[in-house]
Structure 1
Amino acid sequence: MNLLFSNDKRGEYPESWYAADATPLAPFDSFRGETSADVCIVGGGYTGLSAALHLAELGYDVVVLEAHRVGFGASGRNGGQLGSGQRMDQDGLEDLMGQDTAHKFWTLAEDAKKLVKDLIAKHNIDCHLKPGVADLGFGKRDVSELQDYAKKLQDDYDYADVSPLNKEESQALCPSPAYGGGKMDWGAAHLQPLSFALGLAKAASNAGARILENAHVHHIKDGAKVTVQTDQGRVKADHVILAGNGYLGNLNRKVAARVMPINNFIVATEPLGDDAAKVLTKDIAVADTKFVVNYFRLSHDSRLLFGGGESYGYRFPNDITAKVRKPMCEIFPHLRDVKIDYAWGGTLGITMKRMPYLARVAPNILSASGYSGHGVGNAVQAGKLMAQAIHGQDSGFNTMASIPTPSFPGAGALRTPLLTLAMSWYALRDRIGV
Structure 2
Amino acid sequence: MFTPNLLTANDKAGAYPASYYAATANATAPFAKLEGDQTCDIVVIGGGFTGLSSALHLAERGFDVILLEAHRVGWGASGRNGGQVGSGQRREQDDLEKMVGREDARKLWDIAEQSKDIVKSLITKHDIKCDWKPGILHADHRARFVPETHEYAHKLQSEYGYDQIRTVDRDEMHEMLGSEFYHGGSLDMGAGHIHPLNFALGIADAARDAGARIFEGAVVTSYENQAGKVMVKTRDGAVVRANKLILGCNGYLDALDDRVARRVMPINNFIIATEPLGDDLARELIRDDVAVADSKFVINYYRLSADKRMLFGGGETYGYTFPNDIKSFVSPHMLEVYPQLKDVKIDYGWGGTLAITMNRMPFFRKIDDNTFTASGYSGHGVAMATLAGQIMAEAVAGTMERFDVMSNIKIPVFPGGKAFRFPMLVAAMLWYSIRDKL
Q: What's the TM-score, normalizing by structure 2?
A: 0.98
CA contact (8 A) 2:218 2:235 kept: yes
Residue 96 of structure 1 aligns with which residue? 99
CA contact (8 A) 2:136 2:291 kept: yes
**Aligned-residue offset at 1:361:** 0.9
Residue 251 of structure 1 aligns with which residue? 256
Secondary structure of the 1:222 match is: strand
Q: Distance in 2 between matches of 1:27 and 1:167?
A: 49
**Aligned-residue offset at 1:57:** 0.4
Letter in 2 for 1:13: Y
Q: Distance in 2 between matches of 1:362 and 1:313?
A: 30
Q: Distance in 2 between matches of 1:277 and 1:187?
A: 21
CA contact (8 A) 2:283 2:289 kept: no
For residues 359-374 of structure 1, what are the structure 2 equivalents within 5 Å? 359-374=365-380
Unaligned runs of 5+ in 2: none
Residue 78 of structure 2 aligns with which residue? 75
Residue 166 of structure 1 aligns with which residue? 169
Q: Distance in 2 between matches of 1:46 and 1:14?
A: 17
Q: Which residue among 295, 300, 303 is the counterpart of 2:306?
A: 300
CA contact (8 A) 2:178 2:285 kept: yes
CA contact (8 A) 1:133 1:185 kept: yes
For residues 27-42 of structure 1, what are the structure 2 equivalents within 5 Å? 27-42=30-45
Letter in 2 for 1:296: Y
Unaligned runs of 5+ in 1: none
CA contact (8 A) 1:266 1:324 kept: yes
CA contact (8 A) 2:66 2:215 kept: yes
The answer to whether 1:285 aligns with 2:277 is no
Q: Distance in 2 between matches of 1:181 and 1:344?
A: 30
For residues 101-120 of structure 1, what are the structure 2 equivalents within 5 Å? 101-120=104-123
Percent same amino acid among aligned pairs? 53
Letter in 1 for 2:298: V
Between stretches 278-287 and 53-62, larger displacement belongs to 278-287
Letter in 2 for 1:228: V
Q: Distance in 2 between matches of 1:173 and 1:349?
A: 32
Q: Distance in 2 between matches of 1:145 and 1:266?
A: 28
Q: Distance in 1 between matches of 2:317 and 2:30?
A: 31
Q: Distance in 1 between matches of 2:95 and 2:418?
A: 28
CA contact (8 A) 2:258 2:418 kept: no
Q: Distance in 1 between matches of 2:395 and 2:311?
A: 37
Residue 141 of structure 2 aligns with which residue? 138
Between stretches 201-210 and 29-38, larger displacement belongs to 29-38
CA contact (8 A) 1:27 1:69 kept: no
4+ long deviations beyond 6 Å: none
Q: Distance in 2 between matches of 1:157 and 1:71?
A: 34
Residue 56 of structure 1 aligns with which residue? 59
**Aligned-residue offset at 1:27:** 2.2
CA contact (8 A) 1:10 1:68 kept: yes
**Aligned-residue offset at 1:334:** 0.9
**Aligned-residue offset at 1:32:** 2.3
Secondary structure of the 2:354 match is: strand
Secondary structure of the 1:359 match is: strand
Q: Which residue among 194, 217, 222 is the counterpart of 1:219?
A: 222
Secondary structure of the 2:70 match is: coil
The answer to whether 1:24 aligns with 2:27 is yes
For residues 333-348 of structure 1, what are the structure 2 equivalents within 5 Å? 333-348=339-354
Residue 320 of structure 1 aligns with which residue? 326
Q: Which residue among 390, 397, 403 is the counterpart of 1:391?
A: 397
CA contact (8 A) 1:46 1:383 kept: yes
Deviations 1:373-409 (Å, cap 9, x if unpaired)?
0001110011100000000111100100011101000
Q: Which residue among 398, 406, 427 is the counterpart of 1:400?
A: 406
Residue 411 of structure 1 aligns with which residue? 417
Residue 430 of structure 2 aligns with which residue? 424
Secondary structure of the 1:183 match is: strand
**Aligned-residue offset at 1:290:** 0.3
**Aligned-residue offset at 1:33:** 1.5
**Aligned-residue offset at 1:278:** 2.4
Secondary structure of the 1:414 match is: helix
Residue 186 of structure 2 aligns with which residue? 183
Q: Which residue among 8, 11, 14 is the counterpart of 1:8?
A: 11
**Aligned-residue offset at 1:427:** 1.2
Residue 197 of structure 1 aligns with which residue? 200
Q: Distance in 1 between matches of 2:225 and 2:322?
A: 34
Secondary structure of the 1:328 match is: helix
**Aligned-residue offset at 1:412:** 3.1
**Aligned-residue offset at 1:246:** 0.3
RMSD, aligned CA: 0.8
Q: Which residue among 228, 237, 252 is the counterpart of 2:232?
A: 228
Q: Distance in 2 between matches of 1:110 and 1:413?
A: 36
Secondary structure of the 1:5 match is: coil
**Aligned-residue offset at 1:75:** 0.3
CA contact (8 A) 2:248 2:374 kept: yes
Residue 268 of structure 1 aligns with which residue? 273
**Aligned-residue offset at 1:428:** 1.8
Deviations 1:259-284 (Å, cap 9, x if unpaired)?
01000000000011121122111110
**Aligned-residue offset at 1:422:** 1.0
Between stretches 21-30 and 174-183, larger displacement belongs to 21-30
Q: Distance in 2 between matches of 1:412 and 1:127?
A: 36
Q: Distance in 2 between matches of 1:242 and 1:257?
A: 15
CA contact (8 A) 2:6 2:320 kept: yes
